[in-house]
Structure 1
Amino acid sequence: MIRGLRCKDDRVLTGESKISYNFTFESETYTVTVATGTSEYSGTNNYIYVTLVGEQGESERTLLDNPGLDFCRGAVDEYKVSSPSPLGRLLLVRLEKQKYWVEDNWFCRYVIVTDPDGHTATFPCLRWLIGDTKVEIREGVAKTFKDDEFVPELLAHRKAELEERQKNYRWLKWAPGIPHCIDAPTEADLPQDARFDNEKRSDFEYSLQYALMELSLKKLAIRFGKSWDDLEDFRRIFWKLKSPIAEYCMEHWKEDWFFGYQCLNGCNPRMIQQCTKLPDKFPVTADMVQSSLCHKTNLDKELKAGNIFLLDYSIMEGLPANVIKNKPQYIAAPLCLLYQHPDDGLIPIAIQLGQSPGDDTPIFLPKDPPLAWLLAKAWVRHSEFQIFQVLSHLLRTHLVGEVFCVATLRQLPAVHPIYKLLAPHQRYTLEINCRGRTQLISSNGIFKRVVSTGGEALLILAQREYKVLTYRSLQPHHDFTDRGVTRIPKYFYRDHALLLWDVIHNFVSGIVNLYYKSDCDVEKDHELQAWIREVTEEGFAELPNFGLPSSLKGREELTKLLAVIIFTCTAQHAATNNGQFDWCAWVPNTPCTMRLPPPTDKDAVTMDTVMSTLPDISQSCMQMAITWHLGRPQPDAVPLGHYTEDHFTEEAAQDLIKTFRKELKEMEEQILSENDGLELQYLVLLPSQVENSITI
C-alpha cells in the first residue's frame, strides 16, 4: 500500500461499468527530535530550520518553534515536519541556523526522525553551527564508500563534506624534522569543532592560574631567587599541591631500589634496555661493580644471564644548554648500568655522566662518597626529565597522535566507520597541542624559562628522536621484545600495557571485521587509502624509514594500525603524562634543570655542590606547579571505552563497545587485585584512569 494514496470511484454509464482513478497525495507528517549539546553555551536563541531529504524528494523547510524558547543547553525538543509527498528512504537531514537579534552559536548533538509508519532513524550531528549556516547530516549507521556507490546524493554529500573539512583543517610544517601538524598559529585559530568545551577551557586556564598563584606565594615566602641550603629545604614547597606517591618519593628518593623502580614504572618507562655486552664507551670493569652483585657471581655471568640493563642518553650529547636569566644551565648525556638483584630488585651499579670516558668523566659507583653517588643519580634523573617530556610524552604521543587526527579529519567523512572509531580518541588533541606549541615549548614558553633543554635544544632533541622513530616501536609487544625486557620482574608498566593492548586490539578487530568482510574491501576503500597516504606522505613526510606502508592491504594490517593509534592516544599517553607530578614534584628526584656542570671529581662533591647544581627556588616552584597542572586528573575526563557522543548507532557496533567496556572492567579488577597490599602501587594504567584521548 502506498501511504497517503486516495482512490475516487467515478462510474460512467456507457453500456459497461467503467472505473477511473484520480490519485492525490496527503501530506506526510514526520516527528523530528532535536538534541542540543550539554556543555556551557551550547544552546541558541537563533532561528533553526529543518528539511528532510529522501530518495523521492524533500519535506517542507520547517522553522522549529519560536527562537529563544527551545534549543536550550541540554534540551531535547520534539517537532512535526510535513512533506507534500512520501520521501521514501531518508538520506539526509538539513539543518539551518539564522540570526535572531544577535548571533548565537548552537551545538547540535543529534536529530531523530520518526516516519509516518513509526520507523526511527538517528542522525548524529555532533558539531557547532556558527553564523548563518547550513549543514546536512547522515544517518548514524556507518557506511564505507562502497555502501553508497549507487546513491549519487550520498556520494555527493561525502565529497562535499571532505572538501569543506580540507579547507578548514590544513597541514603545517611547524618546524623541520618533526611531524607535520595542524595549520593553526594558536588555539583560537582552530575550527570551533576542534576546540575545548567552555567548561574544559575555564578549568584549564583556572588550574594554571591557581598553580602559578601558589608558585608566587611560595616564592615570596621562601626568599625568591635564592638557592636552597639543604635538601630538606625542598619540603618547603609542598603546600596544597601534593600526592601520596609524591610524598613517598620525598622519603625514598635516595634509595637505589627506588631509582631502579622508576626506570620500570616511572614517567619514562621505555628507556631501559637489556645489556648483553658493555659498550666500549662505558668501560665498567668487573671489580668496579663486584660489591653490588650477589655472592658467587660476577659481571660477565650476569651479562650472559640477562640480568644487566642499560640507560643510554647518547641522544642528549652536545645539545646547546638553555640560558635562564643570563645564567647558563647544563646538560649531560649519561650512561647508567643497572643490575636485577634477586633480593633488592633493579638497582643502579655504575654511572658515567658523559659518552666519552676519561679522567674528567669518572664512573660513579654505589661505594663512592654518598653525596657523589646521589648527585650522579640526580644527573641521570635530570636527563630522564628531558627525555620523557620532549620525546616520550610530546613527540611519541602528542605529535604522533596529531598526525592521525588531521588525516582523519581531512580524508574520512563522519559516516565512515573508521572516522566513527577514531573520533572519540582524538577529542581535544588539536587544541592541547596548539596550546603546547604556544605556551609550553615556544621561544618564550615555560620550557624556555625553567628547563635546561628549553629553546634550541628542545627542537634538536625532538629532531634526533624523530629520525629514528619507527612504527614498530609504537607497538608494545615489539617494543618490549626489542629492548629485551620481556622477563624483568615487577615491570608493571609492561604488564598493564600489554593487557590494554590486547583489549584494544580485540575491540578494533571486531569493528574492522564488522564493516570489512574481506581484505579486498579494505584495499578498495579509496577513502581509507587516501587517509593512509596522507598519514605517511604528508604527516610523516620527513620520515622515510618510519616503516608504515602508504597503502593498506587487508583487515589485519588495518586492525594493527588502528590499535596502535588508540593505544598511543590513550594508554601510552597516560603512562607518560599521568604520573609526572608524582615523580617530579619532589624536585631533587627529577630536576628540570642543572645549574652547574657534571662533577669531574668524586671526592670534591659537597652538599653545597649538590644544592648549587639542583634547580633554585624559583625553578623548583615552577616545576612543581606545572607538573601538577599538566599531570592532575582532568575533571571532565572521559575514561577509556566510554563515549559521550554516540558516533555508532547500529546495534552490532554498540554490542562491541559493551564488550570492550566489560573487558576493561575485568582488567581493572585484575590490576586492583594485584596492587592490593603493595606499599607503592602502580595504578597509572588502570582503565578508569586512562583518558579516552590526549586532552592535556
Structure 2
Amino acid sequence: MFGIFDRDHSQKIKGTVVLMPKNVLDFNAVTSVKQGGFLDAAGNVLDAAGSLVGGIIDGATAFLGRNVSMRLISATKTDANGKGLVGKEVFLEKHVPTLPTLGARQDAFSIHFDWDADFGIPGAFYIRNYMQAHEFFLVSVTFDDIPNHESVEFVCNSWIYNFKNYKKDRIFFTNDTYLPSQTPAPLVYYRQEELQNLRGDGTGQRKEWERVYDYDVYNDLGDPDEDVKLARPVLGGSSTHPYPRRVRSGRKPTKKDPKSERPGVMYVPRDENFGHLKSSDFLTYGIKSLSQDVLPLFKSVIFDLNFTPNEFDSFDEVRDLFEGGIELPTHILSKISPLPVLKEIFRTDGEQVLKFPPPHVIRVSKSAWMTDEEFGREMVAGVNPCVIRLLQEFPPKSTLDIAVYGDQTSILKKEHLEINLGGLTVEKALNGQRLFILDYHDAFMPFLEKINKNAKAYATRTILFLKDDGTLKPVAIELSLPHPNGVKYGAESKVILPADQGVDSTIWLLAKAHVIVNDSCYHQLMSHWLNTHAVVEPFIIATNRHLSVLHPINKLLDPHFRDTININGLARNALINADGIIEETFLPGPNSVEMSSAAYKNWVFTDQALPADLIKRGLAVEDPSSPHGLRLVIEDYPYAVDGLEIWDAIKSWVQDYVSLYYPNDEAVQKDTELQTWWKEVVEKGHGDLKDKPWWPKMQNIQDLIQSCSIIIWTASALHAAVNFGQYPYGGYILNRPTLSRRWIPEKGTPNYDEMVKNPQKAYLRTITPKYQTLIDLSVIEILSRHASDEIYLGERDVKFWTSDSRALQAFQKFGSKLAKIEGKITERNNDSDLKNRTGPVQLPYTLLHRSSEDGLTFRGIPNSISI
C-alpha cells in the first residue's frame, strides 16, 4: 500500500510543518536551573557561567529534518479493507528559517508528497519520530496546494516521542468537524483507533510519553510507608468518602496500605503538559521550588536558627512584609534569586530583605478591612462570594444527623438580632428578605474534635442584615464547639454581638476572625479546589476517551481543559498532599481534603449553573421581566450581577454552536460518542454520585447545551472568581487568616487580660503566625498571577481552530459580547450608588472582567483552570 505513489507524477502536495523542540518548551528541562544554572530574559537555559546549555536546542532542530516522517491518509479513497488509503513515507526537508507568522520559538519545515487523483483529499496523517533522545512539540501542519481543493490545516499541539514508544503510530486529523455518523467512511477506522489508543487498556504504570486517559481514586495523597502520621483515607469509591476521579497513573501500592499508591513522579498525559513558555509550567515550577527549596529554608530560619520570631507583635509588623520587608540571611536570598518565578514574587531590597507586593485590599486604606461593612461586602464581592444565602428560617437549623451529632440547632434568639435591625422585627426582616446567613456550622462541626487537637476553632454561623443602602451589616455571630461530653450530645455555643468600643470591640473583631478562618478554609478546599479543579477533571478524562478531536463537542470544550490535569497533579504532589502546603497552613490540617469529600456528598452538577445556584441559595427568584430572567434579592451583588452576564454569554455561544451540528433531539440521542461520553462521566468520572436523580439524561439538545455551559462556566468564570482574588484579599493575613490558635478569651484568664491590655497582640496570637503567613503569601501570589501567554474567555490559541466558518462567526460574536460586558462592569464600578462594587477598601470588583494583562491584576477570566 505504501507504494501507491511510486509512479512519476508532475503534481506535488507541499506542506509546512511547524514544531518546537523539547528544550524550548518543557519546564522539566529547566531542572538544570536547580543544578547551578539559571534562565536568561528570553527563557534560555544558561549554565552557571552564563553560557547556553549544550546547544541542545540548535542540535535538536538540525536533526529533525531527516529524522521525522509522515504518511498521508485519504479522506475520500479507501483500500480493500475499507480504510482510507495510506501514502508512502516522506521525510521532512530543510528547515525554513523565517516565517513571519510563527512565534519566536517555532521552527518550520517543508515536506512534499507526490499526489494523484486516485488518492483523493488527505484527511489525516501518520507521523514518526526516529530520534531516540529528542521529542518535540508538533504545533501544526498545513497543505496549501492540493489540486482543485482549498488548503488543508491540522492543528496538532502534541508531543511526539520516538515511534517505538507507541503501540500505534501517532495520527492527526484535519480541523474538520464531524458527528460520528457523518465521518467520511475512509476515516471511520482511524477515528475509532485513536480513541482506543487514548483509553489504553487500564493496566500498568503510565510512562512519561503516554497519552492514556483512565480513572482512579484519590489514593496518592498520603505516604504511610514513611510515617503512619502521613496516612490518609482513600477518597472516592465509597459512600463514606466519595470523590471525583483523577487520572490513573498505575504506580505500585504502598506496603502498609495496599489501597494507597506510592508517591513518586506524577503522571500527566503528555499533551496535558504543553510547556507554554511562561504559563503554568513556570508557575508550577515556582510552586515546586517553594515547597522543595524555599519553605524549608524559611522554617530553618524561624525555628532552627531563631533568626526571626514566629509571631507578629503588631499590625505594623505585618504591613512590613510589603513596606519594609523581612531581613533574611544571605544564603536564603541566594537560593531565591536564580529562580525567575520566585525572584519576581519576592521583591528584594539590597541583599538581605524579602518583600511582598502590597495586597490590593490595603493599597488605599490600611484599616478599612476591619469595618463591618467590608466584612459583609466580601461575602458578595470577595474571593468566596458563592456561599452566603438567604435566611429563611429562624433560628437556623442543622442538617447533621441528630443520631450522630445530637441537636445542633442554633441558640440565636430574636433579641440578639433585633437591636441591630433598624426597628424591624425578625419576622418582618425575614419576610422582607433582609436577613442572610454565612453558615459553616455543619461543614466544620463533624471535624472539630479532630481539628482542635492542634488548633482552637469554632464552627460558625453569621447573620447579616441588608441595609437600605444595599450593604450587608453583620448583626450576630454564633460560635459553636462540640459538647464537652462528646459531639453526640450536640453543640456548646455562644453568641457574639457587634461592638465598636472597648474590650467588646476586640471580642467582636476576634469573632469575625474566626468566621473568616472558616471561610478561608471552606473557600480553598471546597469553593476552589473541589468545586472547580477536582470536579472538572473527570470531564477532561471522559472527553479524551470518547469524543474524537473531529467531534464538535470536543472542539467546543477542549480550550477549557488546558493545563487542568497538569495543575491538579501538582496539587496532589505539593499542595493537598499529606503534610503539604494546605495541611500546614490551613485550619483543618490532616483533615483538609477529607472535609472536601464530605462536601462532595452534597455536590449537584445542575446546581453549578449560576442561575440555579443563586435560586438554590435564595438569592434570586425567577422573574421573566428581569434581566436574565432572574430578580436578585441583593441587587448590588457584584459576583452575581457580573456573573449572570458572563453565564448568559457562555450559554448563548454554546447554543449557537450546538445548533450547527444537532438539528433535533434525535441527533443527540443517536450520537454514539456523545452518549458514551456522558454515560462514563456519570458512571465513572463522578461514579460515587451516579445514582443521583439530578444528572441530565442527555436525550435532548437542551441537556447538551446546559451541560456544556456548566462545564465551561465552572472551568472559566467560576474558577476566575474564586482564584484570582486570593492574594489581593488574602495577601493581607489580618484580613483573611487561615488558622485559629485561641478561642475567645474568658474573663479572669491571662489571655483575657492580654486582650484588654494589647488588642492587636491578642488578635495576632489568635490567627496565622509568621511562618505559615510566609507560606500562604508565597503560594497564593503565584496562584493569583496571570501568565504572559494566558488565553482568555472568548479567545483561542489558534485562529482557525475549526474549518467550519459558521462556528468561527459564532465564536466571534461570543467574543464581541464579552467585550461589551467588560465595559458594563467598568460602568458599574464607577457608580457611587453601588456601594458593594468598591466598598470601604475602595477595591473595584473586577474578578469577572474578561481580559487582563499578565501578572497580579485582580481581573481576567482564563479559558481554563490553568493555575
User: TM-score by structure 1 length?
Assistant: 0.89
Aligned to 2:424: 297
Give the drift of 1:560. 0.5
Higher-Rg member (1/2): 1
Aligned to 1:399: 534
Change in 2 beyond 3 A, CA 1:359/1:73: closer
Aligned to 2:257: none
Which one of the candidate residues 40, 43, 61 is aligned to 2:89?
61
Q: Which stretch of the first structure deviates more once superposed, 111-120 or 175-184? A: 111-120
Give the drift of 1:373. 0.3
Distance in 2 (alpha carbons) for counterparts of 1:90 and 1:27 = 18
Distance in 2 (alpha carbons) for counterparts of 1:397 and 1:663 = 24
Three-state SS of the structure 1 residue aligned to 2:689 is coil
Contact 1:350–1:365 under 8 Å retained in 2: yes
Contact 2:482–2:492 under 8 Å retained in 1: no
Contact 1:664–1:687 under 8 Å retained in 2: yes
Aligned to 1:182: 247
Do residues 522 (structure 1) and 650 (structure 2) align?
no
Distance in 2 (alpha carbons) for counterparts of 1:51 and 1:332 = 65
Three-state SS of the structure 1 residue aligned to 2:378 is helix
Greater relative contact order, per chain length (Cα 8 Å cut-off, separation 6+): 1
Aligned to 1:453: 588
Change in 2 beyond 3 A, CA 1:321/1:162: farther
Give the drift of 1:208. 6.4
Three-state SS of the structure 2 residue aligned to 1:49 is strand
Distance in 1 (alpha carbons) for counterparts of 2:86 and 2:491 = 85
Which one of the candidate residues 256, 264, 271 is aligned to 2:372?
256
Aligned to 1:204: 284
Distance in 2 (alpha carbons) for counterparts of 1:398 and 1:108 = 27
Give the drift of 1:636. 2.5
Amino acid aligned to 2:437: L
Aligned to 1:433: 568
Distance in 1 (alpha carbons) for counterparts of 2:8 and 2:491 = 98
Contact 2:95–2:108 under 8 Å retained in 1: no
Give the drift of 1:675. 1.4
Do residues 157 (structure 1) and 190 (structure 2) align?
yes
Contact 1:263–1:272 under 8 Å retained in 2: yes
Three-state SS of the structure 1 residue aligned to 2:466 is strand
Do residues 687 (structure 1) and 850 (structure 2) align?
yes
Contact 2:94–2:110 under 8 Å retained in 1: no
Distance in 1 (alpha carbons) for counterparts of 2:498 and 2:814 = 47
Do residues 282 (structure 1) and 410 (structure 2) align?
yes
Three-state SS of the structure 1 residue aligned to 2:789 is coil
Stretches of structure 2 lacking an aligned partner (at least 5 in a row): 1-6, 26-59, 78-84, 201-211, 219-234, 237-241, 250-262, 323-354, 398-408, 484-489, 620-631, 832-837, 852-859
Contact 2:464–2:473 under 8 Å retained in 1: yes
Give the drift of 1:194. 1.0
Aligned to 1:15: none
Three-state SS of the structure 2 residue aligned to 1:515 is coil
Do residues 462 (structure 1) and 596 (structure 2) align?
yes
Aligned to 2:347: none
Contact 2:21–2:137 under 8 Å retained in 1: no
Aligned to 2:434: 307
Three-state SS of the structure 2 residue aligned to 1:481 is helix
Do residues 647 (structure 1) and 801 (structure 2) align?
yes
Give the drift of 1:270. 1.2
Give the drift of 1:70. 10
Which one of the candidate residues 759, 764, 767 is aligned to 1:614?
767
Stretches of structure 1 lacking an aligned partner (at least 5 in a row): 1-23
Change in 2 beyond 3 A, CA 1:249/1:359: farther
RMSD of aligned residue pairs (Cα, Å) = 3.0
Superposed CA offset, 1:421-464 (max 9, x none): 11110000001001111100111210222222121x21331121
Give the drift of 1:250. 4.3
Three-state SS of the structure 2 residue aligned to 1:639 is coil
Change in 2 beyond 3 A, CA 1:623/1:248: farther
Q: Which stretch of the first structure deviates more once superposed, 300-309 or 376-385? A: 300-309
Superposed CA offset, 1:165-186 (max 9, x none): 0111110011231111111366
Contact 1:591–1:615 under 8 Å retained in 2: yes
Three-state SS of the structure 2 residue aligned to 1:415 is coil
Do residues 474 (structure 1) and 608 (structure 2) align?
yes
Distance in 1 (alpha carbons) for counterparts of 2:825 and 2:748 = 43
Aligned to 1:20: none
Contact 1:595–1:612 under 8 Å retained in 2: yes
Change in 2 beyond 3 A, CA 1:549/1:342: closer
Amino acid aligned to 2:497: L
Q: Which stretch of the first structure deviates more once superposed, 576-585 or 282-291? A: 282-291
Give the drift of 1:499. 0.5
Give the drift of 1:38. 9.1
Question: How do residues 69-468 of structure 1 correspond to structure 2 at under 5 angstroms?
Answer: 73-83=105-115, 86-99=118-131, 102-132=133-163, 134-148=169-183, 151=185, 153-167=186-200, 168-174=212-218, 175-176=235-236, 177-184=242-249, 188-197=266-275, 199=277, 200=279, 201-206=281-286, 209=289, 224-238=308-322, 239-248=355-364, 250-278=366-394, 279=396, 281-294=409-422, 296-313=423-440, 314-319=442-447, 328-343=454-469, 345-354=471-480, 361-367=493-499, 369-455=504-590, 457-468=591-602
Superposed CA offset, 1:380-413 (max 9, x none): 0000011100000000000111111111111111
Q: Which stretch of the first structure deviates more once superposed, 36-45 or 310-319? A: 36-45
Change in 2 beyond 3 A, CA 1:633/1:509: same
Three-state SS of the structure 2 residue aligned to 1:497 is helix
Distance in 2 (alpha carbons) for counterparts of 1:599 and 1:509 = 57
Contact 2:445–2:482 under 8 Å retained in 1: no
Change in 2 beyond 3 A, CA 1:216/1:251: farther
Aligned to 2:705: 559
Distance in 2 (alpha carbons) for counterparts of 1:565 and 1:541 = 17
Q: Which stretch of the first structure deviates more once superposed, 255-264 or 267-276? A: 267-276
Distance in 2 (alpha carbons) for counterparts of 1:347 and 1:602 = 31
Change in 2 beyond 3 A, CA 1:353/1:571: same
Superposed CA offset, 1:323-347 (max 9, x none): 89xx822332101110011147201
Superposed CA offset, 1:595-635 (max 9, x none): 12354669945435433211111112222222112112233
Amino acid aligned to 1:299: V
Give the drift of 1:355. 6.7
User: TM-score by structure 2 length?
Assistant: 0.72
Distance in 1 (alpha carbons) for counterparts of 2:23 and 2:793 = 24
Contact 1:385–1:591 under 8 Å retained in 2: yes
Do residues 594 (structure 1) and 740 (structure 2) align?
yes
Contact 2:21–2:135 under 8 Å retained in 1: no
Contact 1:29–1:81 under 8 Å retained in 2: yes
Three-state SS of the structure 2 residue aligned to 1:108 is strand
Distance in 2 (alpha carbons) for counterparts of 1:380 and 1:248 = 24
Give the drift of 1:142. 0.6
Distance in 2 (alpha carbons) for counterparts of 1:568 and 1:476 = 9
Change in 2 beyond 3 A, CA 1:359/1:695: closer
Aligned to 2:788: 635
**Aligned residue-pair number:** 666
Amino acid aligned to 2:419: S
Change in 2 beyond 3 A, CA 1:551/1:298: closer
Contact 2:154–2:174 under 8 Å retained in 1: yes
Give the drift of 1:217. 7.2
Aligned to 2:339: none
Change in 2 beyond 3 A, CA 1:659/1:38: farther
Contact 2:467–2:473 under 8 Å retained in 1: yes
* Percent of matched pairs sharing the same residue: 24
Amino acid aligned to 1:310: I
Distance in 2 (alpha carbons) for counterparts of 1:652 and 1:198 = 29
Contact 1:362–1:600 under 8 Å retained in 2: no
